[in-house]
């Protein structure tokens, strides 16, 4: 595949992520903060996010598995996950966390387990999508091209 085609494919793919609400404007902000002095900024932040979020999801699962569920503790973890997903632009993960916090308030274990599933699904989705995004970028750079800046004109 030649360079122009690869860049076109990346642009289309990126656009779809925004259109589907998987990413929001905060991700664009991260991309804008990447430059020659900070060439891997996006990958670094995203990697930190996935390390952090995987741990949080495990902590939440464990907390919900207790005989007597500490909903405050679950809520605290979800709040953290909500914050970090908002900071990287993982919009659907963030939204799933908002819904989760409502379940925590209701102190409903079944509801919380369903919410956890939802969050995990969105988390898995954005992780796959971003891995694809980074792979496409790497291919372009390896072919000697530069990565076009995403524009929010849609």
Partner 1 sequence: MEYLHSDIADTQQREKQHFHVLAVDDSLIERKLLERLLRESSCKVTCVDSGDKALEYLGLLDSQEIDRSTASSSFPQPSTQEGLKVNLIMTDYSMPGMSGYDLLKRVKGSSWKDIPVVVMSSENVPSRISMCMEEGAEEFLLKPVQLSDLKKQLQPHLLKLPVHPKIDITTTSNDNGNDRMIIDITMNNNQNVVVSKRKTMTPEPLERRPQMKGLAVI
User: Which residues sit at the interface with partner 1, rule CB under 8 A?
Assistant: 26, 29-38, 41, 44-45, 48-49, 52, 79-80, 82-84, 86-88, 146-149, 151
Nearer to partner 1, 87 or 108 (CB): 87
Q: How far is the CB of 110 from partner 1 (least distance, A)?
A: 26
Nearer to partner 1, 87 or 113 (CB): 87
- DSSP secondary structure letter of residue 66: S
Q: How far apart are CA 139 and CA 147, in angstroms?
A: 10
Q: How far is the CB of 87 from partner 1 (least distance, A)?
A: 5
Q: How far is the CB of 100 from partner 1 (least distance, A)?
A: 15
Burial call 90-106: b when 16+ CB within 10 Å, e when fewer: bbbbbbbbeebbebbee
Q: What are the φ/ψ torsions at residue 35 (nearest 5 degrees)?
A: -150, -165
User: Are 85 and 93 spatial neighbours (Cβ–Cβ below 8 Å)?
Assistant: yes
Q: How far apart are CA 148 and CA 137, in angstroms?
A: 9
Nearer to partner 1, 11 or 109 (CB): 11
Nearer to partner 1, 38 or 138 (CB): 38
Q: How far apart are CA 84 and CA 41, in angstroms?
A: 16
């Amino acid at each position: 595949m030649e360079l122009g085609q690869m860049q076109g494919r990346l642009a289309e793919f990126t656009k779809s992520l925004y259109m589907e609400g998987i990413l929001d404007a905060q991700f664009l902000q991260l991309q804008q903060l990447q430059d020659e002095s900070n060439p891997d900024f996006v990958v670094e932040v995203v990697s930190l996010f996935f390390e952090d979020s995987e741990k949080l999801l495990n902590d939440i699962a464990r907390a919900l598995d207790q005989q007597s569920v500490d909903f405050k503790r679950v809520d605290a973890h979800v709040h953290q996950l909500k914050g970090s997903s908002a900071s990287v632009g993982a919009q659907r993960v963030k939204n799933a966390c908002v819904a989760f916090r409502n379940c925590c308030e209701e102190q409903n274990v079944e509801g919380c387990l369903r919410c956890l599933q939802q969050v995990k699904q969105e988390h898995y989705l954005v992780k796959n999508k971003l891995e694809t995004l980074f792979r496409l970028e790497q291919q372009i750079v390896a072919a000697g091209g530069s990565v076009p800046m995403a524009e929010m004109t849609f």
